[in-house]
Amino acid sequence: MRELKELKIGLLILCVLSCSLSDAQAADVGPSNGYLVIVGGAMQDPAIFGRFLDLAGGLDAPIVIIPTAGGGENYDQYWRGLRRYKEAGAKNITLLHTKDRAVADSEEFVRPIQEARGVFFTGGRQWRLADSYLNTRTHRELLALLDRGGVIGGSSAGATIQGSFLARGDTKGNTVMIGDHVEGLGFLRNVAIDQHLLKRNRQFDLIEIIEKYPELLGIGIDENTAIVVQGDRFEVIGQGYVAIYDYNKLIPPNGQFYFLAPGDRFDLKKREASRPSQTMRPIDRVKVGKWAKKKK
């Protein structure tokens, strides 16, 4: 009896330790399991979608493409937007699209996501994705995909929708930073994401959001550039730069944001940047005067 009691106590302690370890490993900002590939637009660098396919399990992995942000009524196998994914070697693609939230909430609609290893959101207007999928069964199945170790990617609007705060979510136009839609799908918590950063001279635009909501982390991503997120860390890949906006960690004197280059890493929990090699130059920083300075 004594040995049985000690065994039960030992198992209980082991369970507590296991649960504590699991809680400690849970991510605060990114997904606790799975990956995100968040692209700043253009998608002309084949290595970016190649990384997405690798994380999904290879060229034969079941992939779902969601083109809803583009605003079309219907999408089929002849949609020209599929060409880049096929050229990247993806062999098992399913298109998934609806503007009807009741459909997005149906078991039949989400079945391809349940069977997928990866989901990719294409570009357009991010509020359309929120209108169709936010807080529906589709949204829940996307989170479940991450929980089982899958990957969610997105470019342009498909990048911004992955943050918890929806930048440029106004139905009147994409120049309004804080609009009539402000809630994203929240794969990255407490984060606002912008895209086409330097190509469209948007490097000052996220400041408006960070000034109003200083608890948020702003991430601006240039075209043909992506961040690959695992847990609370990401790596920059591609051809351009990623800008970090953190109101509580301004770069003296009076810096507004700083840049990360391909190969750089970022800890989303600690909000700290690093480079793999200590012999490389410090992280590129942009110092442009007072935080409140706006783009003319």
The CATH number of whichever domain residue 262 belongs to comes to 3.40.50.880
201-241: pLDDT as tens digits: 999 999 999 999 999 999 999 999 999 999 999 999 999 99
Asked, for residue 130, whether it belongs to a domain, the answer is: yes
Q: Which residues, other chains included, contact 128 with Cβ-Cβ below 8 Å and sequence gap of 6+?
A: 68, 69, 70, 71, 99, 157
CA distances 217 to 21, 24, 31, 163, 240, Å, are: 27, 22, 16, 10, 20
CA distances 169 to 3, 38, 61, Å, are: 62, 17, 32
How far apart CA 291 and CA 195 sit, in angstroms, is 21
Do the bridges between strand 265-267 and strand 257-260 make them parallel or antiparallel, or are there none, so unpaired?
Answer: unpaired
39-61: pLDDT as tens digits: 999 999 999 999 999 999 999 99
Indicate the number of domains in the chain. Answer: 1
Asked, for residue 165, whether it belongs to a domain, the answer is: yes
Q: Three-state SS for 227? A: strand
Smallest CA-to-CA distance from 146 within 6, 33, 277 is with 33
pLDDT number for residue 248: 86
Backbone angles phi, psi at 34, to 5 degrees: 80, -170
Do the bridges between strand 118-121 and strand 151-155 make them parallel or antiparallel, or are there none, so unpaired?
Answer: parallel
pLDDT tops 70 at residue 165: yes
Tell me the pLDDT band of 9, cut-offs 50, 70 and 90.
very low
Q: How many residues does the chain have?
A: 296
Asked, for residue 295, whether it belongs to a domain, the answer is: no
Asked, for residue 9, whether it belongs to a domain, the answer is: no
pLDDT (mean) for 249-273: 89
Asked, for residue 291, whether it belongs to a domain, the answer is: no
Asked, for residue 245, whether it belongs to a domain, the answer is: yes
My answer on whether omega of the bond before 253 falls inside 30° of 0, hence cis, is yes
176-196: pLDDT as tens digits: 999 999 999 999 999 999 999
Asked, for residue 22, whether it belongs to a domain, the answer is: no
- Domain of 60, in residue numbers: 29-286
Asked, for residue 14, whether it belongs to a domain, the answer is: no
Q: Which two tokens stand for residue 62?
A: 């079941």
